[in-house]
Amino acid sequence: MRLSELQVVLQTHTVVSTLAARDPTILHITDDHRNVTAGSLFVAVSGKRFDGHSFIAEALSRGAVAVIGEHALDALGTSPYLIVPNGRLALALAAAAINGMPSRHLRMIGVTGTDGKTTTTTLIRSLLTAAGYTAGMVTTLGATIGDHHLETAVHTTTPGAPELQAYLAQIVAAQGTHAVIETTSHALAQQRVVGCSFDVAVITNITHEHLDYHGTFAQYRDTKAELFRSLRNDPLVKLDVPKVAVLNRADPAYELLHELAADQQLSYGLSDEADVYATDIVYTPTGTHFVCHTPVGAFPLSLVLPGAHNVANALAASAVGVALQVPVTAIQQGLAAVQQITARMTRVAQGQPFEVYVDYAHTPNALTQILTFARQLTHGRVILVFGLSGGPRDSSKRPLMGRIAGQMADQLVITSVDWYDEHVDAITHQIAAGCAEVGRREGTDFWRVLDRRAGISTGIALAAPGDVVIIAGKGHERVITYGYVDQPWDEFAAVRDGIAQWLAQHDHTAER
């Protein structure tokens, strides 16, 4: 794409240097100067920590053929420089244009919410696949295109606009028909999904999270609602494709979202107030079974995924299936086919006489859900190992989650997750304060172990036959961050090491 063509898409007329003299072909777009290659368009975005305008000179030295920025600058030489009012918006629109506006060629499903996004996204893709569609998806765990799985950026659920649009273009190139996108509040606030023509918007729930970024819960909720507003504000409307909103009938945000216009609304929940709801729920050691009631009739569903929260996720996915006229048999087969989702209550078994699960839970609601499920699994004790991130992450939830852990777990180990620029001792102290508020005593009911590997081993060492140990807060992530420096991390390897230590110790004790 020529820069002059892109200028038309961006609808900007402010250009520093003459396009007639230099109208380069754009091969690549990025807002990270480190990713610039020959033929790149560099977009300077003003962020909270860094101002992209400071890296323009380096971007040009690396081969950028043009630059987009938000204000005039001196000494740019002869390089074309487009000035726009909003760099993030320009980045997203330009990324979509350079990739051929791929969402125009796909049925686009966006899934937002505090918890359950990855699971719901995966379930939706699975039922679409069972119906014979070629569906791609982008989640916290990576991008799935056809039979290929690609890793996405660490600590980021919804990729940046250039990466996301490139994934969508790959789905189109693979003859894809649908794309299911896990859509975070950060992505909505930072306009990463502008240029994505969503046809279905799904909400899982909205609970306490990311108040460090959004400021208030009301603002956080309103940002989530942007996905639903986009259904009506979509400039790339596809003819004869209805816009559908799938809403959680039990979530307090229902009333707000219900007021937003869509061609069709479907609600889901555990009560018959919803359009799609469950009855006759049976939890077993091998899965969950229930009857799903929908506007097209009632039918039995079976899930391998455990817990009441996954019933809700399955109902949301089923509502999407109904809205997209997926056959009931495909909904049933697709949901049953999802055996496991990495670090979403993933069982780790090495012959130990107690259960160990790894979960990504890092919000108050998610922690409550997994501890409720753990209590259903055992007549023994529930032992929790968890921590929360420092630095820019939401610190207001630390004492709250400490209270939840103190009330719901029998014993717990508070440990590190990602420190960033905050000392881990301060982070764990705030969590411990919440535990103390509900009467738990450090050294008797809970322990603080600052090193995560040692914390995991400590929690597992507390276990006795029949107990359940939950390792929460880090899950699938492949690095652990100390002072903004990423170090390799494998949660499952640390858990397996802890179990091996327990088995070695108890084998040794038995021999004596």
Residue 212 confidence (pLDDT) above 70: no
Global pTM value: 0.83
Q: Is-contact 417 395, C-beta < 8 A?
A: no
Helices (DSSP H) in 153-208: which residue ranges? 161-173, 185-189
- The mean pLDDT of 18-47, rounded to a whole number, is 86
Residue 416 CA, chain-centre distance (Å), reads 21
**Where does a domain end: 76, 97, 118?**
97
Choose between 280 and 483: higher pLDDT: 280
- CA triple 7-12-15, angle to 5 deg: 80
- The mean pLDDT of 394-423, rounded to a whole number, is 87
How much is the pLDDT for 75?
A: 62
Residue 211 confidence (pLDDT) above 50: no
| Helix/strand number for the chain, H first, E second | 16, 24
How much is the pLDDT for 141?
A: 83
Residue with tokens 């101002």: 51
Q: Give the β-pairing of 81-83 and 107-112.
A: unpaired
251 vs 20: CA distance, rounded Å: 55
Do 272 and 363 have their domain in common? no
Do 358 and 492 have their domain in common? yes
Do 81 and 170 have their domain in common? no
- The mean pLDDT of 202-226, rounded to a whole number, is 73
Closest CA to 135 of 108, 97, 164, 95: 108
User: Total domain count for the chain?
Assistant: 3
- The mean pLDDT of 214-235, rounded to a whole number, is 80
pLDDT band, very low/low/confident/very high, at 214 (cuts 50, 70, 90): very low
Do 86 and 137 have their domain in common? no
pLDDT tens digits for 431-456?
Answer: 999 999 999 999 999 999 999 999 99
How much is the pLDDT for 53?
A: 92
Q: What is the CATH number of the domain that holds 282?
A: 3.40.1190.10
pLDDT tens digits for 459-474?
Answer: 999 999 999 999 998 8
477 vs 252: CA distance, rounded Å: 30
Q: Which residues contact 397 (CB under 8 A, 6 or more apart)?
A: 208, 209, 211, 363, 364, 388
pLDDT band, very low/low/confident/very high, at 157 (cuts 50, 70, 90): low
Highest average pLDDT, of 212-226, 309-323, 342-356, comes from 309-323
Do 63 and 144 have their domain in common? no
Do 502 and 484 have their domain in common? yes
How much is the pLDDT for 47?
A: 75
Do 361 and 286 have their domain in common? no
pLDDT tens digits for 128-141?
Answer: 999 999 999 998 88
Question: Could you give the strand order of the β-sheet that contains 264-269, starting from the edge strand earlier in sequence?
Answer: 148-150, 142-145, 135-139, 178-182, 107-112, 200-203, 244-248, 264-269, 276-284, 287-294, 297-303
Choose between 27 and 224: higher pLDDT: 27
Do 184 and 250 have their domain in common? yes
pLDDT tens digits for 179-196?
Answer: 999 998 888 888 889 999
**Where does a domain end: 31, 62, 97?**
97
How much is the pLDDT for 28?
A: 92
pLDDT tens digits for 486-509?
Answer: 888 899 999 999 999 999 998 755
Highest average pLDDT, of 75-79, 321-325, 397-401, comes from 321-325
How much is the pLDDT for 285?
A: 66
Lowest model confidence (mean pLDDT) among 63-67, 86-90, 284-288, 338-342: 284-288
pLDDT band, very low/low/confident/very high, at 18 (cuts 50, 70, 90): low
**Where does a domain end: 97, 122, 141?**
97
Do 423 and 477 have their domain in common? yes
Lowest model confidence (mean pLDDT) among 16-25, 226-235, 472-481, 502-511: 16-25
Residue 290 confidence (pLDDT) above 90: yes
Do 314 and 189 have their domain in common? yes
How much is the pLDDT for 235?
A: 67
Q: Which residues contact 71 (CB under 8 A, 6 or more apart)?
A: 53, 83
Q: Provide the residue type at 112 as one letter.
A: T
pLDDT band, very low/low/confident/very high, at 72 (cuts 50, 70, 90): confident
How much is the pLDDT for 447?
A: 96
Q: What is the CATH number of the domain that holds 56?
A: 3.40.1390.10
Do 398 and 323 have their domain in common? no
Q: What is the CATH number of the domain that holds 441?
A: 3.90.190.20
- The mean pLDDT of 243-255, rounded to a whole number, is 93
pLDDT tens digits for 58-71?
Answer: 999 999 999 999 88
How much is the pLDDT for 510?
A: 46
- Indicate the SS3 state at residue 99: coil
DSSP 289-323: EEEEEETTEEEEEEESS-SHHHHHHHHHHHHHHHH
- The mean pLDDT of 262-271, rounded to a whole number, is 94
Residue 322 confidence (pLDDT) above 60: yes
Domain that holds residue 420: 346-511
Do 24 and 65 have their domain in common? yes
Q: Is-contact 328 297, C-beta < 8 A?
A: yes
How much is the pLDDT for 210?
A: 46
- The mean pLDDT of 400-413, rounded to a whole number, is 94
How much is the pLDDT for 272?
A: 93
How much is the pLDDT for 236?
A: 65
Average pLDDT of the residues of the chain: 88
pLDDT band, very low/low/confident/very high, at 392 (cuts 50, 70, 90): low
